[in-house]
Amino acid sequence: MDALHDLIFGSGVAIKQCQAVDHSNNFTLLIGRDSGDVDPAFTGVMEAEPTTTVTSLDVAGMVGIFGVAGASVSAGTVTIPMTRRAAGSTFAGTSSHFTMTGANAFGYPTTYSAQQGQDATAAADIMFLSTNGLAAPLSSATGATLSANAYNVAYTLGPATIDGTEVPEITGITVNPGLTVETRKYSGSVYPTVCVITQRNPTIELTVADFDEIDTYGPMFVTNDSIDAVAYFRKCADGSTRVADATEEHIAFTLSDGITTVESFSGQDTSDGSAVIRITGKTLTVSATSAISTS
């Protein structure tokens, strides 16, 4: 029985407050048959692309590691640890845990999200690379010793502005850095040796309860390709509520030179309706040391 632990992405930098770690080796198998036969006569691995998806409440940590453009580890260490449970207790001793380790990888953010009344989350994909295309990019161990978990900070939904005007009644924000990442294999290799970004199409989506915003930013789209948007995640205060807006400890995503579209709106029975406004821009930046300004 094993449970989540802080994930390490290069130089001992921990991704804390992990909520989910999903790993897939993405095998493409080679299955051969005799002429016209039904059953396999040969089985092997043609290709594999080991990838780990991590979701964390440590949004500042994820911003610090991956930002909005991703980060590489070359001849370093990416460690995915799982902590062993102890029957009749909590967790086992310090040297009885599982780890999977890769020395070369590229990690990139897929989404940053915040909803009213919930912790903000961040998600990233980590793609493991081989040194020569034939050497396995991952190794595993049992009986490993793990460092103690550590808590960072918590964030939640904040306000957002479009061209300096605050958008009212926001119930959710989703920031998508919009990275298209592809791996490369050469000379008959099994594992990827290179990972490249082929496109960036960043967006910020605002879910709102005020249907007047459909008129302001729609009803279809705004005929302007130079709209700027800023979306904030508020820092939560330990033992209190929120850190003051003027304190430069909040997270701000800034999307420049965008076009605004009303993606959808809906209403159900006696519940409040909601609309989704998307800003698709050209340049996305992020700061984890920002004050909140809506004017």
Domain boundaries, the chain: 2-30+43-290
* Strand (E) or helix (H) holding 50: none
Between CA 134 and CA 145, with CA 140 as vertex, the angle to 5 degrees is: 150
Rounded CA-CA distance 85/90 in Å is 6
pLDDT at residue 166, as a whole number? 96
- Examine the pLDDT at 67 and tell me if it is beyond 70: yes
Rounded CA-CA distance 89/170 in Å is 43
List of long-range contacts for 164-170, beta carbons under 8 Å, 24+ apart: 164/228, 164/295, 166/294, 166/295, 167/206, 167/208, 167/213, 167/277, 168/208, 168/210, 168/213, 169/208, 169/209, 169/210, 169/213, 170/116, 170/206, 170/207, 170/208
Q: How large is the average pLDDT for residues 115-142?
A: 96
Cα-Cα-Cα-Cα dihedral sign, residues 211, 213, 215, 218: negative
pLDDT at residue 247, as a whole number? 97
Which residue is listed with tokens 């020395």? 103
* DSSP of 136-150: -S-EEEEEEE-PPP-
Q: In 185-220, at which residue ranges do the beta strands (DSSP E only) sit?
A: 194-200, 203-208
Q: Please check whether residue 292 is in contact with residue 228, taking contact to mean a CB–CB distance below 8 angstroms.
A: no
pLDDT at residue 12, as a whole number? 73
Tokens of 39: 């059953």
Q: What is the mean pLDDT of the chain?
A: 93
64 pLDDT tier (thresholds 50, 70, 90)? very high
pLDDT at residue 265, as a whole number? 87
pLDDT at residue 87, as a whole number? 81
Rounded CA-CA distance 120/16 in Å is 13
* Strand (E) or helix (H) holding 216: helix 212-217
pLDDT at residue 118, as a whole number? 96
146 pLDDT tier (thresholds 50, 70, 90)? confident
225 pLDDT tier (thresholds 50, 70, 90)? low
Rounded CA-CA distance 92/96 in Å is 7
pTM, entire model: 0.93
